[in-house]
């Protein structure tokens, strides 16, 4: 899906550098969040003694019961 954003301004200076910096900062924030999530998942897998992939396989094979707690 292609989406387009058009920004118009009457200001004399170009907004392009500001928008580029804002996008780069947001990208860095997202990358940091992904890294932190991976680190937390690794810690959880170690505590649980099972990888996420193995857990999903066992859940799909109904070797693990799904409960809400």
pLDDT per position as a tens digit, 11-69? 878 888 999 999 999 999 999 999 999 999 999 999 999 999 999 999 899 888 877 76
Establish if 56 belongs to a structural domain: yes
- Domain encompassing residue 51: 28-69
d(CA 66, CA 68): 7
Establish if 3 belongs to a structural domain: no
∠ CA 46-49-52, rounded to 5°: 80
Number of structural domains in the chain: 1
Phi, psi for residue 14 in degrees, rounded to 5:
-75, 135
pTM: 0.67
């Amino acid at each position: 899906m292609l989406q387009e954003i058009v920004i118009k301004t009457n200001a004399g200076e170009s907004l392009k550098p500001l928008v580029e910096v804002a996008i780069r900062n947001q990208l860095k924030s997202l990358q940091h969040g992904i890294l932190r999530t991976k680190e937390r998942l690794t810690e959880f897998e170690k505590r649980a003694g099972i990888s996420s992939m193995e857990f999903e396989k066992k859940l799909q094979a109904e070797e693990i019961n799904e409960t809400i707690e």
